[in-house]
Structure 1
Amino acid sequence: MSEVSNLLIVGEAGTGIRAHLRGKAVNALAGREPVLMLDCGRNHEHFCKLMGGSVVTLLTTPGGEETPILSTFNAQNTTPLQVFEFERASRPWTGLLPAPEVSFQRAPGLLVVDDVAEIRSRYPALEQLVREHLAAGGRCCLAGRTESALQPFVGICAPAKLVRFPSES
């Protein structure tokens, strides 16, 4: 396993948070851990392509239909990296995520959530997913724009290291 078990990262866009999240993902993959990233805004799609992972776009219709769409660029899926993209979820996603259970059955791995407030608004079961992932022996790295956005996860992720961006030196 990697250095710090769980991280809670606070900071605005443009402060290096996403680069830090990707670095944590690369370290986990180098340690042969699977990585599941939850994103809204296609921030990690190119990274996922470069790393040989898969992107699943979660589409919800105004009528409530939920459809996962697997990207076509990753037929070989050479690394255990999955990004679930919530940008096209016009309504909250209420079903199970289509594949993380399979991905994390062999090894719990790292769960990365970019902008917890945005993901929570589109995936209300986020707290439950984090709880279950940690209970199975996984680790998490959660990012939010404010400490209040991360507050619901402080107890769930304990012990966790809080990191502020830009870093206070």
Structure 2
Amino acid sequence: MDETMSMTAPPASVDTEARHVRYAGFWMRFWAYLVDIIVVASLNGILITPLIRGFDLPATEPAILPLQAILTGIVYYMYFILMTKFLSQTLGKMLFGLKVASLNKRKLTWGTVIFREGIGRFISKTILFVGFLVVAFTKKKQGIHDLFADTTVVHEK
């Protein structure tokens, strides 16, 4: 048996990583978002419900509804902002092997994350979730919130 090793030449392009990026499509992101909504609802149940009950008002009391809406909104946005900033992914994205990536290959900054998760997500939801449907039709599978922040969601390696 011949014991010579064949050497293969390295790829012509140094930036091979860019060629192998797999953008997360609409349905993968949809299922990850559903998991995240379950997580946020659970957090609201653990954090907000006992706090509201501490006011000793009935859940149907009109005075309590604005406070509850504000607090649940804070939990919702803080979950997405903090998870994306520190881990580049939420629990739903982790479950499906997805992460948020900057198009310029840099670490996500606070400004980028707040713009994407706060302002961009709000705009995407405000226009009847059309901002999320855009994912299905863009080359890099970006929603409106991604387009605003120069980010996308990719499959982890």
TM-score class, shorter = under 0.3
Give the number of the structure whose alpha-carbon radius of gyration is greater. 2
Pick 1 or 2: higher relative contact order, CA cutoff 8 A, min separation 6. Answer: 1
